[in-house]
Amino acid sequence: MLIEEMIRDVERELLRLLSEQERPSALVEAMRWAVEGGGKRIRPRICLAAAVAAGGTATDALLPACAVELLHSYTLVHDDLPAMDNDAERRGKPSVWAKFGEANAILAGDALQALAFTALAQTPEHRIGARAKMIEFFGRCALGVVRGQVEDIVPGTKDVPFIYEHKTADLFMAAAVTGALAGGGDDASVEKLRLYAYHLGLAFQYEDDLLDDDSPFSRDETLRLVQSETDAALAALSGLPGDATSLAELARVLVNRTR
């Protein structure tokens, strides 16, 4: 099944997961506002394509793809808060805190993170122990995002590589590794896909810096970093048991985007 077709299934499954949350209505509305607010669903795409590249099918990774999008949505809700980035708008609409209030935004983010682990725990496993590995790695990445955010907001000189590795690359790795494990990938395949996602996450962040014109490095150095990390991501796809075409194409698209 094509990844684009599976993304529609991800959207339907996200709606199902959110629809099961019946009350309080203010919490449910805030959660839905966060998840259904648009976005390219980059991380679910990585997750689905990683399952295929590991030798499985995109369908295998449906729930992990939802889990990583729920986790990503939680990070955006909390990033927008006045105590963090103080953004009143997200994707052309009021951010969650601006529409529902700060307290509801904090709690909606908490709920989205919990729901992400709930979805992941329901994933069928093709290899014994795969689900436990998924949850453990997913948890490490979720913690890593928080570590990166703290480094980003503390006063003084910032460790930029640490921030990028955790705020951006960790979620890319969560997507690829859970997808690979859901698809029945062996240890070697999972590691290849982790490396792909790590380097792609860094390339994605450096490209974002170019688009926002706020790179901590010179433009020439940032361009070099985008290219070198993209090359490393593509190199990591060599020798996988399944079709890695979608992952390769995604890497090329992400580093040549206009937004």
**Would residue 126 count as lying in a domain?**
yes
pLDDT at position 1 over 60: no
The span from the CA of 39 to the CA of 90, in Å, is: 10
Residue 259: pLDDT band with limits 50, 70, 90 = low
Predicted confidence at residue 251, as pLDDT, reads 94
The span from the CA of 233 to the CA of 199, in Å, is: 5
Kindly list the distances between the CA atom of residue 137 and the CA atoms of 35, 140, 142, 178, 179, in Å, as whole numbers in the listed order: 22, 5, 9, 8, 12
Predicted confidence at residue 154, as pLDDT, reads 86
Which domain range does residue 46 map to?
A: 3-254
Least Cα distance to 173 among 131, 212, 136, 222 occurs for 136
**Would residue 10 count as lying in a domain?**
yes
pLDDT at position 38 over 90: no
**Would residue 259 count as lying in a domain?**
no
CATH number at residue 200: 1.10.600.10
Q: In the numeric block, which tokens belong to residue 37?
A: 């607010």
Predicted confidence at residue 40, as pLDDT, reads 86
pLDDT, tens digit, 9 for 90 and up, residues 118-159: 999 999 888 888 999 999 999 999 999 999 999 998 888 889
What is the domain count for the chain? 1
Predicted confidence at residue 125, as pLDDT, reads 83
Predicted confidence at residue 185, as pLDDT, reads 95
pLDDT, tens digit, 9 for 90 and up, residues 189-232: 999 999 999 999 999 999 988 888 888 888 999 889 999 999 99
Predicted confidence at residue 107, as pLDDT, reads 96
In the 3-class helix/strand/coil scheme, how is 13-80 assigned residue by residue?
HHHHHHHCCCCCHHHHHHHHHHHCCCCCCHHHHHHHHHHHHCCCCHHHHHHHHHHHHHHHHHHHHHHC
